[in-house]
Amino acid sequence: MSIHLYQRIYISLLLCLVLVSCIGSKDGLLPTGTPTQIDEIPTVTLAATETSPPEATSTSSQPAMVVLLAPSEAQSNQIEDLVATLTDLARADGLQFNIQQSFSSEDFSPKIRLVVAMAPDPGISKLAEAAPNTQFLGIGIPGLKPSDNISLIGPDGARPDERGFLAGYLAAAITPEWRVGVISVSDTVEGVTTRDGFLNGVVYFCGLCRQTHPPYYNYPLFVELPSGASQAEWLALTDVLRDKFVKTVYIPPGAGDQALLNSLAQAEINIIGGSAPPQAIRQHWVASIYSDYIPTLKEIWPLLLAGNGNMTRPMSLFIRDINPELVSPGRLHLVEGMLKDLQSGYIDTGAQQSPIEGGESSP
């Protein structure tokens, strides 16, 4: 082979190397370290397809709701206590809380987990049928029946026998030699039941209730009049109680009026009542006994949120307006312990039995 042939082959190889170098330049094939075309491949479209639209995401992330249905006729003081309680309970469970005066089936949302309704009945039965996945709680609504998504607190109001029993126990616990009595209404079931509960509550505390020192009378004592009695007739009962040396008396709802309370205080008879005490007689006011549904609401709250219905609970009782000059902390602790047992069903008021003998009825 001639030398010229080798020269031509060498020149050809050199040209090939130059060509490859040109192809691998900036204008040719991309270097492996700069994949700009790969980065520009859109993957956002796929992600957007798998993610819910913004509006749907916002709605689904809203917390469940609790609605208080409080008609304009509902008692304002009860609404205030209930709003405060429901606000705290809902916040603790991460729920929204809303208040409405009226409600219809068109107002329902899948987010509403619980509707709490106060008397008068806003039509709970129909609303519950329209929203079977929502729990309803009726408070103090008579005639309403429980169902799978309807529960009730105090449909018959407070039990008068328990209220009377608590008043009798409290009266006996704070009164020397148990010189206590009750003024009751003689012609109503509630009045008679309250009276029997009071008498049994006293005896539950003091047994035979015998006095150590004279004068000797049979305590507990009761005086009563029909609901239509005049103010003069109610006022006359003050003299009966004073002549029998009664030191503490229970005045249940429906018995007497403000004039009777003033008369008893002037006779230096201490009073257990069912409402806030007038300031003028505050020093002779032992305490007030109220009906309350808040403790029961707190008790069944977790069950309601868990979807449990068909529950019926009585209203709770509690003591307010306590006079520390007449009720010591130790006596109050004793009474509150009894109240807990009473409402837990460990104590029977016995109010369905015959009235206790030895009481004094009005002449």
Tell me if the bond preceding 53 is cis, omega within 30° of 0: no
- Determine the CATH number of domain 160-292+316-343: 3.40.50.2300
Q: For position 7, what pLDDT does the model report?
A: 58
- 156 contacts 162 by C-beta, under 8 angstroms: no
DSSP assignments along 285-341, one per residue: EEEEEEEE-HHHHHHHHHHHHTT----EEPPEEEEES--TTTS-HHHHHHHHHHHHH
> Taking the model in full, what pTM does it have?
0.68
Measured CA distances, 327 to 63, 324, 333 (Å) = 46, 5, 10
pLDDT of the residue at 76: 61
Q: Which residues pair with 225 in a beta bridge?
A: 185
- Hey, where are the domains in the chain? 62-153, 160-292+316-343
Whether residue 185 contacts residue 191, with contact meaning beta carbons closer than 8 Å, is answered with: yes
User: Would you say 319 and 289 are in contact if contact means Cβ atoms under 8 Å apart?
Assistant: yes
* Residue from 157, 227, 239, 171 nearest 199 by CA: 171
- Domain 62-153 sits in CATH 3.40.50.2300: yes
Distance in Å from the first CA to the final CA of the chain: 156
- Alpha-carbon distance of 181 to 297, in angstroms, equals 33
**Greatest pairwise CA separation for the chain in angstroms:** 157
**177-231: pLDDT as tens digits:** 999 999 999 999 999 999 999 999 999 999 999 889 999 999 999 999 999 999 9
d(CA 177, CA 206): 9
Residues 6+ apart with CB under 8 A from 278: 258, 261, 262
pLDDT computed for residue 79 by the predictor: 81
* Domain 62-153 shares a fold with domain 160-292+316-343: yes
Q: Which residues pair with 136 in a beta bridge?
A: 115, 150
DSSP string for 42-110: --HHHHHHHSPPHHHHHHHTSPPEEEEE--TTS-HHHHHHHHHHHHHHHHHTT-EEEEES---GGG--T
Token digits of residue 200: 């049994």
- pLDDT score of 26: 43
In this prediction, the residues of the chain whose per-residue pLDDT falls under 50 are 3, 18, 20, 22-59, 353-363
